[in-house]
Each structure stands twice: as structure tokens, then as C-alpha cells.
Amino acid sequence: MVEQTSFFLSKDTHAFTDCTYLKEDSTIRVPKGRDALYNCNYVMWRNTEFGTKWFYGFITKLEYLNPNTTKVHFELDVWQTWCFQVDI
């Protein structure tokens, strides 16, 4: 798991610590303008309800909210998120 996290952190172009995660519609609001995020296609985040677990997702849409806030729509990457908890 450490290697997985290190790999994805080495690829980051933006990192935010003050975001709003909305589970009901699979979005994250980030404090960055939409134009600055066009080259992004993947997201990883921690949900404090699950402690230190990382979640991973494919960005499906960037929605303009205001010049300094974008709503990032995503689809959960089930394999990357849960691969180390699977018993085969």
C-alpha cells in the first residue's frame, strides 16, 4: 500500500487539504479554477470517516462554480481503492 500511495503522490499536479467531499453525488469541491484542472484525469483523496484510507477515482467532469472553486465529478476506481483488501 505504501508503494501505491507513493506512486500516485509522485504524479500529482495539484494537492489540496481544504476540500468538500460529497458522497451522494461523487464530487469533490476544490479551491482551484476549472481551467487550471483541465490536464487532470485522476483523483485520490482521504475520507476522514475511514481514517487514513486512500480512495481513487477517474475524473469524469469539471464543473465551474466560481473563479476559485471547481466541482470535480469522479467515478470510483474500485480496483485501486480496494485491491489490498481483496482476499482471493
pLDDT at 6: 80
pLDDT along the chain (88 residues), means of 10: 76 78 85 93 83 90 96 94 83
pLDDT at 65: 96
pLDDT at 58: 96
Measuring CA to CA, how many Å separate 43 from each of 36, 66, 83? 14, 20, 17
pLDDT at 46: 83
